[in-house]
Chain A
Amino acid sequence: MTIGGIIVNRGRTSQGRPADDHHGWHPTSAHTTAIAVGTLLLAISILAARPDIALVGIPGLLAATWATTTRPTTPLTTTLHEPPGPTAPGELAATLRLTTAGTPGTTPTADIAHLRITAPGHRDTHLALATTRKPGAGEAGVREVALRLSSVRTGPQETFSVDVRGSRHGLWEEEPTEVGGARRLVLPGAAPLGRLPLPRRLRGLTGPHSSRRLGDGSELRDIHPFTPGDRLRRIDWRTTARRSPELDTLYVRRTYSSAEATAVLVVDSRDDVGPDLRTWRGYGTLRVDEPTSLDLARHAAASVAQALVETGDRVGLEDLARRRRPLPPASGRRHLRRVVHGLALAHPKDRAADHRVRPPQVPADAVVYLFTTVLDDEPLHLVRTWRAKGHPVVVVDTLPDLHPVIEHHLWIAWRIARLEREDRLAALAGEGVPVVRWAGSERDQAAVRFEALARAAERNAPGPSTSAPRAAAP
Chain B
Amino acid sequence: MKVLIPGALRSYTRVSHVEANGHTLDELFGDLERRYPGLRFRVVDEQNLLRPNMRIFVNGNSVRDLQQALQPDDAVAVVLALSGG
Partners in one complex: no
